[in-house]
Structure 1
Amino acid sequence: MIKFAQPYDGEDSITFENAILITTSALIVYVILRLVRHTFLRRRFEAFARVHGCAPPPAITSSFLTGIQHKWKRLNQRGDMFNDYMNRVFQENGPTHEIKNTWTGETKAVYTIAPENVKTMLSTKFSDYHRPRTMPNALNPVMGQGVFTSNGEAWAHSRGLVRAQFSGKRVRDVSKLGKHMQNAFDTIESNKIGKDSWTEETEILLVFNRFTLDSATEFMFGTSAESHEAFLRESSEMKNTYKGMKSFSRYKAILDDFATAFDIALDYVALRLKLGRLWFLADGLAFRLACYKVRSYADDYIRRAVAHAEVAKINGKETEDDRRFGLISELVESYPDKVALRNQVLQLLVAGRDTTAATLTWAFILLEAHPEVFARLSHAVLEVFGTETVPLAPVTYENLRACTYLQHVVFEVVRLYPTGPLNARKASVNSILPTGGGRDGLKPIAVQKGTTVAYNTYLMHRREELWGPDAWKFRPARWEGKKASWEYIPFHGGPQTCLGRESIHFVCLVIITPYTIHKPH
């Protein structure tokens, strides 16, 4: 006869009450161990700070509730986030200050606009700091891991592979920009409302977003996305209809058009970055479809580039046609993993489009707002290049560099509106920043491992102590005879300096030059 085991219900059985007691005890032990570890690390850090003669910077206290209020205030800021809100915080608390937890006294973050501190993080003690996870989390659905989101050896490997592609003749070829530049000017002209009025009713950022997307896709894939061609064909009533579409039509528009998908994906990314650790709240079907479309677009060109490279290898010789897929033709052999190649290329595409478009937009806005600067720039450009009817020199890299005031105009644009206005690093070890501590702010400050240090390039570029009483004004003449150091980092600095800084600068020079020659006076 088969006997079945019966549940044991003796005196030693684990009752519900015993389970609660064991769980509670384990939780108490865990909390105690955490407190002991926290106390030990805190005391060790305080000893580290004393040994190095550090003093704490001015502090702003923050609890969980005030942290939520702070985040809500940032998301719903009606005025200018940098000029109104962040500038006021630095004015009230000094160029370097920290956010402290009200209950534990622990430093949650350090904020700085001191060049010495930025130099320490990005250069002299580069290995002490790394990029926080906020950016990778925000960008991953679109482009995964790459040169702008990785740290350590992965970052060094990625940067080493693509660095050579962003120097020399590759980024100085004016001929590659001609068609796209003409499209941009055609759009501006088609929107002017009077014979002497340029850009007054033109969505200038949209124009330059299309220009940079087309030129960047040609650079990356060998073929332009031709987004500006479609933009020119659209009527003015159709340019902003996306938000008014019904859901199905909206999703179809994303899947049908790369430029639309690209714009929507980046809109979501911007919101995810703004949300910080709450990045996951910015999601949805439109975002995921946009990410799918952008990745598929890149994958298609990569597949074709790989197939073309395999044929070229069989033929046994390389021709100019073997590079017809742009940057990916150069990177195919370096990336056996094609997903990694796609991630890398998309990161470069995103960085190249937004930074250049934003800089060009601000250049045009500032030149329109300052006719005296434009008049001087026009004179300087005409002196080097001549007029449309009497040209003196071709628009080349060398001739553009020879036009000093043109260079100064671009320097001043990116001083006032840097491509990365706010950035951050996280301490990998206990570290020291050289200034900001004590009542006078002159003592070094200690940064505990795991603490985020945010540096505000936008406000650092506008500090009157560094740039004079007119620091907030657009005055290119300030660059005459000036050699800037770490108070000027529009493209960051140190080993992680922006790879495309030369390309961005060059494109701005190329676009501004014909604008000054052809614009009605």
Structure 2
Amino acid sequence: MLQLFGVLVLALTTALLAQLAYNKYEYNRKVKQFGCGELTVAKNGFLGWKGIRAVLHVLKTKKGPAALKERIDAYGRTYVFHIGPAPVISTMEPENIKAMLATQFKDFSLGTRYRSLAPTLGDGIFTLDGHGWTHSRALLRPQFAREQVSRLDSLEAHFQILKMCVDKEMREKGNDPRGFDIQNLFFLFTLDSATEFLFGSSVDSLVDFLDDPSVRTGDHGGVDEAARKGFNNSFNHAQELCALRSRLHTLYWIVGSVVKKEPFERYNKEIKTFVDFFAAKALKARKEKDMSLMDNDQYIFMYELVKETTNPVTLRDQMLNILLAGRDTTASMLSWIYFRLARDPKLYAKLRSAILEDFGTTPEAITFESLKQCDYLRYVLNEALRLYPVVPINGRTATRDTTLPRGGGPDQSQPIFIPKGQTVSYSVYWTHRDPRFWGEDAEEFIPERWDPRNGNIGRGWEYLPFNGGPRICLGQQFALTEVGYVLSRLVQTYETLETCDHKPLPPLYNHALTMCHEEGVWVKMYKGEKA
């Protein structure tokens, strides 16, 4: 029996090595056929076991995309990195990113993204390719028309509760050298504003934080209290597991099937049950022609969406996809802005001066148009997105044999061959920090670099915070408007901002599907000068 087992192991090993040798031969043949240069290959051990270890190590140590620096220094801006037996090409070259997202768009798909994320997000705009994606985009585009993203009235109501939370934190923790975590408040705020925009009813997570029901914004649309309070936790944990599935590429199935099966299924069920409640409510309103809901003066995403589709699963999945974007992008962006401004009081004072000059001390002058015209505010937003893009690493998979413009040969200036099925990971985090485009101070937070008088005009594919090409983010203006409004109102209200975090950079990253600070953003804020 042992001899038979040994023979089987030897036969399988021989077959595997023969297949690998043949694949290598075919790859080299096509590299020459397409006139491409050789790619640098990272040494990741037999069958890429070191690659799996590296992925798990980054997740454990919370180094996030900053961990790529060691590989970039060792292998260059484009290289092959095996995660298990699967080779992944990693690049930060703008020309390669442009090719995948725009000029060679049809040569690439989302690869394993659907299988990695669909258990949580379903068939939505962020998970689908082809006709499904085209349909989703057509369905959602009207919801982000200018007249909708310019509605700021509902944001002010949530801002007032956010301000109450900041004041509460300062009363209770103002004398504590650790301060309070404003990132936590930003995530609660954006969940509240996003659920009101989507469902017409905020989950009131900031109200729960205040522990003051008297400031509740509504009846939560009748949703069960336990489901309302449990949704945020389930959504966070499901995203973390989805992120791990994505980073394992073709081995995504291990998470949710072999490990973490029960919690992943539980989180997804709780998320979908919560959103299904609102989808059913919208469908009922349409069926009963309840015009008080369908044609309300207040814009509500799901009541507009239900005019276009009556499929309850489609409604749920699209709302989940937009909720992910609406909550996480704005909260992360606000958090990184405060993380950097708190470390440089002069920058905060300069921004406050610009805000007060353009808007005064009240919200009346803050509009969709005026936010875009406040130059220094725009510089701060751009710089935060440059250093801390909300989605720092993304990827595509080749749908046919093709090429990318750069990365081959000794100096990585030649085209590279991309076989069908090959995954290419691209890191805008490092593109945004490349000294070739941003100078030797590329890792410093300098809003003034965006002033056209400094020569930085017409940014191209080296700056890509909202993706590019046909899949460019539909909600870009929505996110910038919300962040600009909240930031302006906070700066109007609080004269002084100081950090309570003096740890050296880079920070620890919570890099799930989006990226925020792992340890929170610990600050103190004063309405007057610090006493």
Q: Same fold (TM over 0.5)?
A: yes
Identify the residue that residue 511 of structure 2 maps to in structure 1.
none
The one-letter code sitting in structure 2 at the alignment partner of 1:488 is: Y
Which residues of 2 match residues 332-481 of structure 1 at below 5 A? 332-388=306-362, 394-481=365-452
The one-letter code sitting in structure 1 at the alignment partner of 2:327 is: R
Q: Is the CA contact (8 Å cut-off) linking 1:309 and 1:322 kept in structure 2?
A: no
Shift of 1:118: 0.5
User: TM-score under structure 2 normalisation?
Assistant: 0.80
CA distance in 2, matches of 1:226, 1:153: 37
Q: In terms of Rg, which structure is larger?
A: 1
User: TM-score under structure 1 normalisation?
Assistant: 0.82
SS in 2 for 1:192: helix
Could you list the per-position Cα deviations for residues 48-98 of structure 1 after superposition, in whole angstroms to 9, with x for gaps in the alignment? 4324321012211332332333233233336x2333x21111011111111
Rate the CA distance shift 1:461–1:397 in 2: closer, same or farther, 3 A: same
Q: Is the CA contact (8 Å cut-off) linking 1:415 and 1:461 kept in structure 2?
A: yes
Which stretch of structure 1 is more off in the superposition, 58-67 or 458-467?
58-67
- Say which of 202, 207, 231 aligns to 2:209: 231
- Say which of 260, 274, 295 aligns to 1:297: 274
Which residues of 2 match residues 245-264 of structure 1 at below 5 A? 257-264=230-237
Shift of 1:309: 1.0
The one-letter code sitting in structure 2 at the alignment partner of 1:56 is: E
Rate the CA distance shift 1:129–1:38 in 2: closer, same or farther, 3 A: farther
Could you list the per-position Cα deviations for residues 236-288 of structure 1 after superposition, in whole angstroms to 9, with x for gaps in the alignment? xxxxxxxxxxxxxxxx9678633333333334434444554233355254443
Identify the residue that residue 117 of structure 2 maps to in structure 1.
139
Rate the CA distance shift 1:311–1:462 in 2: closer, same or farther, 3 A: same
CA distance in 1, matches of 2:281, 2:126: 25
Identify the residue that residue 204 of structure 1 maps to in structure 2.
182
CA distance in 2, matches of 1:290, 1:66: 31
Gaps of 5+ in 1: 1-19, 235-251
Identify the residue that residue 5 of structure 1 maps to in structure 2.
none
Identify the residue that residue 168 of structure 2 maps to in structure 1.
190
The one-letter code sitting in structure 2 at the alignment partner of 1:97 is: Y
Rate the CA distance shift 1:306–1:200 in 2: closer, same or farther, 3 A: same
Identify the residue that residue 60 of structure 2 maps to in structure 1.
76
Which residues of 2 match residues 205-224 of structure 1 at below 5 A? 205-224=183-202
Rate the CA distance shift 1:108–1:86 in 2: closer, same or farther, 3 A: same
Could you list the per-position Cα deviations for residues 188-211 of structure 1 after superposition, in whole angstroms to 9, with x for gaps in the alignment? 121126998999622222211111
Shift of 1:145: 1.8
Q: Is the CA contact (8 Å cut-off) linking 2:329 and 2:479 kept in structure 1?
A: yes
Gaps of 5+ in 2: 213-224, 496-528
Q: Is the CA contact (8 Å cut-off) linking 2:383 and 2:446 kept in structure 1?
A: yes
Which stretch of structure 1 is more off in the superposition, 92-101 or 379-388?
92-101
Which stretch of structure 1 is more off in the superposition, 470-479 or 394-403?
394-403
CA distance in 2, matches of 1:346, 1:207: 21
Q: Is the CA contact (8 Å cut-off) linking 1:220 and 1:326 kept in structure 2?
A: yes
CA distance in 1, matches of 2:193, 2:209: 15
SS in 1 for 2:180: coil
- Say which of 92, 113, 132 aligns to 2:92: 113
CA distance in 1, matches of 2:482, 2:392: 20
Identify the residue that residue 518 of structure 2 maps to in structure 1.
none
Rate the CA distance shift 1:48–1:302 in 2: closer, same or farther, 3 A: same
Equivalent pairs counted in the alignment come to 471
Shift of 1:37: 11
Shift of 1:497: 1.2
Q: Is the CA contact (8 Å cut-off) linking 1:122 and 1:493 kept in structure 2?
A: yes
Q: Is the CA contact (8 Å cut-off) linking 1:253 and 1:260 kept in structure 2?
A: no
CA distance in 1, matches of 2:434, 2:371: 30
